[in-house]
Amino acid sequence: MMEDNVWRRRDLDRGKTLAILLVVFGHIVAREDPSGGGWGAAWYEPARAAVYSFHIPFLFYLSGYAAHWSGATAACGPAYGNLLRRRAKRLLVPALVFGVAILVGKIAMMDELHVDHAPASFVSGLVDLVWRTDRSPAQSVWYIIVLFFYAAGAPMLLPLLRRYGPALLVVSAPLALLPVPPILYADRIVTYVPFFLAGMVVADRDLAWCRWLDAWRVPLAVLFALALCVDLRAGAAVPRNLAMLGVSIVALPALHAIVRQLPYAARRLLDWLGAYAFAIYLLNTIFIGLAKALLMKQIPWEADWFPLFAAGLMAAGVAGPILAKTLLFRPVPVLDRLTR
């Protein structure tokens, strides 16, 4: 998920790591909410709605920024072919490997443990993984599949971006609102185009943009907080894609400004977690599912018990992939490359 060349930006890497931690938080509850209406789970759904209004757009913004800043969007001729091969190896191969692994694991365990998004069979699960993707048994891999298509298309847009960058961004914004069928990830590919383009557009003005972020970080943070409050207040009255677009207009620059000015301890933590960010992204749902199934054997999936579930599942979604990367994948070169 990180750029695979020597050009790195710590603010971008820290932002991606933060966004992936928010992804883990959003995966704590899959489709089935805790039963009962107790106080224990009342906080989670508003918090998740707030997170979902900006965290994936932020991830695509950072990816577009990193792709353009690193020079990957300028690839042409043979260099473009090499880019596609590298990105396919970096993104599509892990998506296929871990998508099928999650599918097989769910089928193997569904008779013994509780399984979210359980497939009816291997064949139907495989079809859902690549065709009816809203029913995919491995929902967590969609981001890197979409990112591959963006990486493939970005060099073709570079001439337009150089001439009409801000205008191109404005024209693309309605794509986030289009009702696209969830076939072959088309809905995700179309929805998040404006955010990836936003990263490319501001990266084309990198120095001026970063100076502006640093100068306006406090007002941006305040506006971001206000936007979240308005979104939470509006709730279901506003379509979620429209809310995501509205909040993200403020959230993307605000979060970028925040990760550029983090306290020392937070920078060190995100730098350390960044080495495991791709593994956390790929594996968090596996460990969350396992932890949830094991906990449900001991305590009920009810609202009063949800704080314990939330803490345990968040810990499992972060620590589990780190341990797997360290103990299982890193000693095996092929697996280490898949999760690097």
| Per-residue pLDDT reduced to its tens digit, 303-331 | 889 999 999 999 999 999 999 999 999 99
Q: Is the pLDDT of residue 32 over 90?
A: no
Q: Give the torsion sign (CA, 146, 147, 148, 149).
A: positive
Predicted local confidence at residue 250, as pLDDT: 97
**d(Cα 232, Cα 304) in Å, to the nearest integer?**
23
Average pLDDT over residues 80-84: 94
Tens of pLDDT, residues 178-194: 999 999 999 999 999 99
**d(Cα 199, Cα 325) in Å, to the nearest integer?**
29
- φ, ψ of residue 132 in degrees (nearest 5): -85, 75
User: Can you give the length of the chain in residues?
Assistant: 340
Tens of pLDDT, residues 209-223: 999 999 999 999 999
**d(Cα 273, Cα 23) in Å, to the nearest integer?**
14
Nearest to 306 by CA among 67, 37, 77, 8: 37
Confidence band for 5, pLDDT divided at 50, 70 and 90: very low
Average pLDDT over residues 71-78: 91
Residue type, 154: A
User: Which residues contact residue 298 at a Cβ distance below 8 angstroms, ignoring those fewer than 6 apart?
Assistant: none
Neighbours of 245 (CB within 10 A): 20
Q: How many CA atoms lie within 13 A of 179 on its CB side?
A: 1
CB 109 within 8 A of CB 160: no
Query: What are the residues facing 132 on neighbouring strands?
Result: 183
Q: Is the pLDDT of residue 255 over 70?
A: yes
Predicted local confidence at residue 3, as pLDDT: 44
- φ, ψ of residue 311 in degrees (nearest 5): -65, -45
